[in-house]
Each structure stands twice: as C-alpha cells, then as structure tokens.
Copies of this chain bind each other. A is one copy, B any other.
C-alpha cells in the first residue's frame, strides 16, 4: 500500500484517490491514457482533434513511437530498500522534481480556452517544467506570469528574420525562461492528411501566432498594426516563420545571442548528435515531432540509444514521442534519456479538464513513476541504466 511512515514524494496521490472513494467520490478525470484520449476526442472540435492527434502521412511514425516501447521489458530487482525515493533530476544547474517535462505544443487555444495559461498554472502547481512553443496562443510574457517561479524553457521556431529570432530570445530571457529549445525538424510543414482534409491550418486564422503579433520587431516590419490589417500580419508571419536554408554554421548566431543553454530538438541520427556537441550545443532532444513531420521516421525510443552512445554524457539528452505512461518514461530514462517530454498526453488532459485536468494527469503520472521506480528496485533514476531492461525477443 505504500503508506508507510516515510511518505514517498508522489505515490501518496494514489492513496488519496482510494480514500476519496470511501466517501463515494470518483476521480474527476480519466485515470488511464487510453480513456483520457477517448474522452478528449469527444470534447474537441474535429479540426482541433485532427490537428493534435494527427501526424504526417499515414501516421506510421505516430504509431511506432508508441509501439516502440514494447520492444523493451523491465526486469525488476528485489529487496533493495525502496522506502524513500528521489525522482529529482538536475539539469543546467536547476534541480527539477522529476525527469518529466510538459513539452512544447503550439496553439493550445484550439484544445482549451485557457490554452497555455492553464498549462503554465498546472506546471507551477506540480513544479513540473514546461517548454513554451513559439507558436503559442498566449504570449511569452503572459505564460511566464501564470507559470510564476516554476522552471520553464522556451522553444524556438527559428524565423528567417534574425532580428525577430533575437527578439523572441530576449523576451524569453526577460521572462525567466531558462533554456532555449531549437526545433530543427519543422523548416517546412509536413504533409498532414487530417489537416489537409479539413483544409485547416490554425495559423492562417491568426491562431497560435500571439508571440509574433506582440513582438516589436515583427510589428515594426508591418505597414499597419495587425489589429488594423490582420491579413497582412498573417502573410508576414508566413514569410518569416522559417528558414529552411539554416545549417550547422548558423548555430553560432544563437550561441552569440543568448546565454541560456541551447538544446537542439529533432536529432535522430548519432552523427547529428555528435555535430551538435561539436557546435557547442548544451543539450539534445531526441524527437521526430510526434510523428508529425516525416512519416516512416524512426521511433524516438529506437533512436535514443544511438544518440545517447554518441553523446556519451557530454550533454543532457532528452526525448519525446509516444510517452503515455510511467512505464514508457522508465524505459526511456533507462536507455539514457535525462528526461522525457510529454506532448499529446497532456493535450488530452487539457482538453478534458483544463488546468485541473493537466494537474490530475501529472500527479497521476508522477505517482505511477515513483511507484514504477520503487517496484523495479530503485530509489533514483541515477541508479537506473540499460541493465534494468531486456530487449523483447
């Protein structure tokens, strides 16, 4: 039952649910990821559901991201004193309560009216770090305010206008974001049949471009303020959103522009990981953008080990893609990830319950992770490596 004298940091959330049950109270939000996803699909518009659930092409990679975890099995160890656990992880000098992030997801206003503000409050309530997307519905500043003293990072869609890029970075620094996560896999938007079938791209409706519309550099480039000529603003957004000609050498610009640690997100090949280190990057996020960019791309859990080997401890390696449970997270951490980022999983929670939904999801996931760590025979993820797993044959 785990309700021993020394309370574990997260696992007692579970006991609270059972205690409430004695009073006839059932959990307000779904406990299992599958049920959460089902319920989210009920409450979301078809456009929003397609945008969030969908991926590139026939969505092979969306599925293989999830299925890839099945290739690995945990071999729990016994009799090791797992009375007290410590899930904390240290990244860039900051101690985080657990190796779990709310990953960067754009345009959250299509999921829930409270959008990134709800996410930021849920992150603060649980002290789980969030990564704000450039393409957020709420501004860098508003999200920071909602997020308070909680740790937060900023994800950059690197614009073709470098002044705009620098402006985004300055605003993030000024608002207390502590690291910069540069997305490398979305210089072009992929072929996404669900969105195309509905001819739905939220940005063209001015959704998810709050950071652009509020940016002094962006506004200075417009002939009229976006409030007066919204179409021209959208067109300018389309023009500056991305620069597909960027190469490794251009990273020097980012390095010169910020003192924040810089992580490259979208690395899947070991050689690219090595190159990131060679270019002075501070971290890597193994990611295929949730299967939203290259259909048929390698599952991130399959790409992880190669990247971890190549990096060989030089910088932190995070990963996202397909994480739906503490078991998935445990496997990624055992294979060498320093932390994992959630994506769709917390979007379902946001859709279903707003801030409270995300809090409930996180408390449950943290409890499950705490219990999985303990029941596998470990007190800290610092003790867990690939020896905790066997490959499923």
Once the chains bind, are B78 and A185 in contact (CB under 8 Å)? yes
List chain B residues, Cβ under 8 A from A372: 57, 190-191, 294-296
Say yes or no: A2 contacts B268, CB within 8 Å.
no
Which of B25, B73, B83, B364 meets A302, CB within 8 Å?
B73
Q: Are A303 and B193 in contact (CB under 8 A)?
A: no
Answer whether residue A32 sits at the interface, using C-beta atoms and an 8 A cutoff: yes
Which of these binds chain B: A10-18, A143-151, A217-225?
Answer: A10-18
Instruction: Name the B residues within 8 Å of A2 (CB-CB).
Output: 187-189, 242, 244
Q: Given contacts A185-B76, A372-B294, are A239 and B19 in contact (CB under 8 A)?
A: no
Question: Do A196 and B31 touch across chains, with their CB atoms under 8 A apart?
Answer: yes
A57–B368 touching, CB < 8 Å: yes
CB–CB A19/B58 < 8 A? no
Chain A 41-82 against B: per-residue CB contact (8 Å), 1 yes, 0 no? 000000000000000111011001000011111111111111
A252 contacts the other chain (Cβ, under 8 Å)?
no
> A327: which of B60, B160, B200 is its contact (CB, 8 Å)?
B60
Interface stretch (choices A163-171, A201-209, A311-319): A201-209
Is A264 close to B, CB under 8 A? yes
Instruction: Write out the residue numbers on chain B whose beta carbons fall within 8 Å of the beta carbon of A328.
Output: 296
State the CA gap A264–B33 with chains docked (Å).
33
| Cβ–Cβ contact A294 & B76, under 8 A | yes
Contact with B along A235-260 (1 / 0, CB 8 A): 00011011111111011000000000
With A18-B199, A57-B325, A327-B60 as given contacts, are A82 and B296 in contact (CB-CB < 8 Å)?
no
B58 touches A330 (CB 8 A): no
Most buried by B among A73, A79, A204: A79
Residue-by-residue, is A275-306 near B (CB-CB < 8 Å gives 1, otherwise 0)?
10000000000001000011111110011000
* A322–chain B nearest beta-carbon distance, Å: 12
A274 at the binding interface (Cβ < 8 Å): no
Residue from B14, B189, B298, B371 within 8 A of A14 (CB atoms): B189
Query: A75: which of B1, B11, B188, B297 is its contact (CB, 8 Å)?
Result: B297
A272 on interface, CB distance cutoff 8 Å: yes
Are B83 and A198 in touch, CB under 8 angstroms?
Answer: no
> Closest chain B residue to A14 by CB distance?
B191
Determine if A380 is an interface residue (Cβ-Cβ < 8 Å): no
Which residues on B sit within 8 Å (CB–CB) of A75?
Answer: 268-269, 297-298, 303
Given A3-B238, A58-B324, A160-B4, the answer on whether A22 and B204 have CB atoms closer than 8 Å is yes
Cross-chain pairs A/B with CB under 8 angstroms, 29 sampled: A1-B203, A4-B242, A18-B195, A25-B199, A27-B197, A31-B197, A33-B58, A57-B325, A57-B368, A58-B324, A60-B327, A69-B296, A75-B297, A76-B293, A78-B267, A78-B269, A79-B247, A79-B275, A83-B243, A189-B371, A190-B371, A190-B372, A191-B364, A191-B372, A294-B372, A296-B325, A302-B390, A302-B392, A302-B393
